């Protein structure tokens, strides 16, 4: 299985490549080269956000690429502090202008609360923002819509208010931090879980137990962790600026046994 030419299918029938390139913390002046390298290696799924301040560089790379637009899957996100119907429409138009796109593949509410005030109750604002996204989706401006960092409570609030289940919930997910309650709810409601920070922002790469298992299998810890996400039916978004790491992160032609998965599940 080549994860870059294999897909998850969202609840609305849209195909999304099984591994994406995360671009968090890649500055706008570097992201063009990073995305061009990713395309060269075989990635077609790029995850950005207005909050990353690199949409313009991502857009230039898509424009400069020889790949047909329909073969590239582009995600961006509504900034966490922007809540409300019209505010969402305005922010979306800015993102589309910066990305130089006519149609977006996936649009997410970046968080249920502003990053500057984690935990703040923004339920009504999230509902209004999601209503705007549903309208953009129905107009054909976006192929799929979703959320990020949403708890079960946050998900239920927008689903109950709109009667529409997000196609995606992008959450922190890696070996040792699997947010089981959220994942169970999402999978029961046909919401694809995207795993950001599948390598725990690098913190996991020296874990002795993971090192031992990786050596036994003849793979790297990064490959082990990304494969774990896939076998949990989540979509990993490893972030790297290095071409050789991009190749490594997508070379996943091995399987973790049930026993190995259980062992990884026990790591905390």
Asked whether residue 85 is domain-assigned, the answer is: yes
Residue 1's pLDDT band, with cuts at 50, 70 and 90, is low
Contacts of 196 (CB under 8 A, 6+ apart): 22, 24, 47, 148, 170, 171, 172, 173, 237
pLDDT tens per residue across span 225-253: 999 999 999 999 999 999 999 999 999 99
DSSP 121-137: --HHHHHHHHHHHHHHH
Domain annotation covers residue 12: yes
Number of domains forming the structure of the chain: 1
Q: Is position 104 within any domain?
A: yes
> What is the set of active-site residues?
52
Whether residue 52 lies inside any domain: the answer is: yes
- Beta strand extents in 131-205 (DSSP E only): 145-148, 168-172, 192-196
Answer yes or no: is 264 within a domain. Answer: no
Identify the band that residue 204 occupies on the pLDDT scale cut at 50, 70 and 90.
Answer: confident
- Can you give the pLDDT at residue 201? 77
Query: Is the full-model pTM beyond 0.75?
Result: yes
Distance CA 86, CA 235 (A): 31
Residue 217 lies in a domain: no
Residue 123 lies in a domain: yes
The domain in which residue 16 lies consists of: 7-202+233-253
Report which of 145, 170, 184, 179 is spatially closest to residue 236, judged by C-alpha positions. Answer: 170
Q: What is the CATH number of the domain that holds 198?
A: 3.20.20.100
Mean pLDDT for the stretch of residues 210-234: 96
pLDDT of 182 above 90: yes
pLDDT per residue as tens digits for the range 167-177:
999 999 999 99
């Amino acid at each position: 299985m080549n994860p870059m030419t294999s897909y998850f299918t969202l609840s609305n029938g849209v195909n999304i490549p099984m591994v994406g390139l995360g671009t968090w913390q890649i500055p706008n002046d570097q992201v063009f080269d990073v995305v061009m390298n990713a395309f060269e290696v075989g990635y077609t799924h790029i995850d950005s956000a207005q909050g990353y301040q690199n949409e313009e560089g991502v857009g230039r790379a898509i424009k400069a690429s020889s790949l047909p637009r329909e073969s590239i899957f582009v995600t961006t996100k509504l900034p966490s502090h922007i809540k409300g119907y019209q505010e969402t429409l305005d922010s979306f138009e800015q993102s589309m202008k910066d990305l130089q796109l006519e149609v977006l593949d996936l649009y997410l509410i970046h968080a249920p609360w502003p990053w500057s005030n984690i935990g703040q109750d923004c339920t009504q604002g999230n509902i209004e923002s999601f209503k705007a996204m549903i309208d953009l989706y129905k107009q054909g401006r976006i192929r799929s819509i979703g959320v990020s960092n949403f708890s079960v409570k946050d998900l239920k609030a927008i689903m109950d208010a709109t009667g529409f289940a997000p196609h995606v919930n992008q959450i922190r997910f890696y070996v040792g931090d699997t947010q089981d309650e959220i994942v169970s709810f999402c999978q029961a409601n046909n919401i694809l879980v995207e795993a950001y920070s599948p390598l725990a922002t690098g913190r996991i790469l020296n874990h002795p137990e993971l090192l031992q298992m990786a050596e036994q299998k003849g793979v790297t810890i990064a490959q082990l962790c990304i494969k774990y996400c896939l076998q949990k039916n989540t979509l990993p978004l490893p972030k790297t600026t290095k071409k050789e790491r991009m190749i490594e992160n997508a070379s996943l032609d091995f399987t973790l046994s049930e026993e190995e998965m259980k062992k990884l599940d026990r790591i905390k």
